[in-house]
Structure 1
């Protein structure tokens, strides 16, 4: 599979160098992912690779994350992106923090994976619960990212957002700062296993904090009903011998309303082929939840017409 994708990439490059026209590659679609080292970026890169093998030109690009991606899609500065279901709902309804604009050009394409909160501390830190982070230095995600937005929602609900020393760092930078003792904790909001948490666990003995119990006690799930409970299995990370309860949002593939119905349908067909799904899991294990039965899980906003056509054909939308 990977060899086939590489051969296609070489063919495309050679064709462009020789000046031969390829009509199927005439339109370029930008797929906005997320910060370096984050799961969003893996998905954007994987889908762009599958697209090339199916004669579509999709270029993966990094971004600040979920909130920035919504704005890029709405402004047609990206054709496709990864973001969170809760943020799409908030954006379309004019409920983003400090932003009452309604982002009506953002349409859901497919469910990708559950994105759980993962709150990392050192095992010997004495930090036993999220409430213990008051007064501590915490990496909360890139400014403009879904991770940072969800961190603010969570810690505000707990009443400690303004009591922490917050650092807006991408996942990889946060893991480095954590390793060097510049942070007491860092937060990621992505599928597991996450590369930055893996790196932190290799450098230090870590503990994942239970965010579900803290959120439940603070009324988080009554206020934000799109969040749901999930358990990170034992041994997901080095030294994590027990399962950890947390909460998640659904990570979605979204598209601009100005991308054609046929383009979205064609790309969905490629990604949800047997070969496409196999490749997605090879790129990131969290994609094992992608299948033709789960395709619209967690979606509470309008589907792109191309996605509606695809999922209707596969029986997930009933007339």
Structure 2
């Protein structure tokens, strides 16, 4: 008969307990599924939101680890989600709408496997001019130089849509400059107007307003009266940039905006999406996102479906309906 010393017994019990703990740990790791969340360029707003949502869901969504991935931005996220190279992403409503209908620039593919989940924040148009009497409306820009954003940027694409709808794209001189360069050029008299398509307050507009007396044109009012923008591009909506957001601009600016949306692969199970949205829209989830990026203050139950003109993921539909939200026919298609 084998006789073990007390020390050997304790050692064997310790090894047994350790083996059981490791076994359960391996089972937990093995059963934990990884979800990929596609954000944007490092330092950009998309990436802040993607990282914030991923971090919170990794802690709170049982059985899942959510990894944040950098990307080139909205259109790349659309492509990744459509191929299911990512599970979640951030996409502009405009790109989602145009991609679904095969109308992306130089790309006739229809991206049908990407669904909206929720509104994150708005990207309003700022049409900045110097505060003199020369330019008071879009029509006054005919023959003038307008900085519209870098070549291939979302800002440049939105500028072309806006000015084409107003019938003046072929009558202005677009200058493909980044925001900061455009702000300097406006002050130096090298351009006549600066187009910025980004959340407010925007640093380039602050830069222009700090060095010069500026004014912002009312793009929504003009588009509604004179153009076909909302007919051709229904993802644009009305937004007000409050008075005193920028130095010297002491009036409300009624402008247009696109919406940055939380999106998901249509093949992601509905129960996973519903749980994820529920976690983010509880007070702790929203507080976490605001701590990551103050722009998240725009997120609420009331604003949750803002700017969405494409189908909403089934899981997200269940969540929004449970909150008393009425979805449009397009959103439930």
How many angstroms does 1:111 deviate by?
1.6
* Whole-angstrom CA distance in 1 between matches of 2:151 and 2:322: 39
* Whole-angstrom CA distance in 2 between matches of 1:121 and 1:49: 41
Counterpart of 1:91 in structure 2 is 99
Counterpart of 1:308 in structure 2 is 317
* Whole-angstrom CA distance in 1 between matches of 2:309 and 2:287: 27
Counterpart of 1:210 in structure 2 is 218
Counterpart of 2:68 in structure 1 is 59
5 Å-filtered alignment, 1:1-319, equals: 22=29, 27-33=34-40, 37=44, 39-54=45-60, 56-63=65-72, 65-124=73-132, 126-172=134-180, 174-175=182-183, 178=186, 183-220=191-228, 221-316=230-325
* Secondary structure in structure 2 of the residue aligned to 1:279: helix
* Secondary structure in structure 2 of the residue aligned to 1:27: strand
* Whole-angstrom CA distance in 2 between matches of 1:25 and 1:126: 62
* Whole-angstrom CA distance in 2 between matches of 1:151 and 1:268: 33
Q: Which runs of 5+ in 1 are unaligned?
A: 1-20
Q: Deviations over 1:20-66 (max 9, x none)?
A: x95687625132236855x4344334323433443633315242x43
* Whole-angstrom CA distance in 1 between matches of 2:273 and 2:188: 44
* Secondary structure in structure 1 of the residue aligned to 2:116: strand
* Whole-angstrom CA distance in 2 between matches of 1:174 and 1:24: 51
How many angstroms does 1:211 deviate by?
0.9
| 8 Å Cα contact 1:34/1:66 also seen in 2 | no
* Whole-angstrom CA distance in 1 between matches of 2:83 and 2:210: 41
How many angstroms does 1:175 deviate by?
4.4
Q: Which moved further from structure 2: 118-127 or 244-253?
A: 118-127
Give the structure-1-normalised TM-score.
0.77
Report the count of equivalent residues.
Answer: 298
| 8 Å Cα contact 2:150/2:176 also seen in 1 | yes
Q: Which runs of 5+ in 2 are unaligned?
A: 1-27
| 8 Å Cα contact 1:141/1:187 also seen in 2 | yes
Task: Pick the structure with greater CA Rg.
Answer: 2
| 8 Å Cα contact 2:71/2:77 also seen in 1 | no
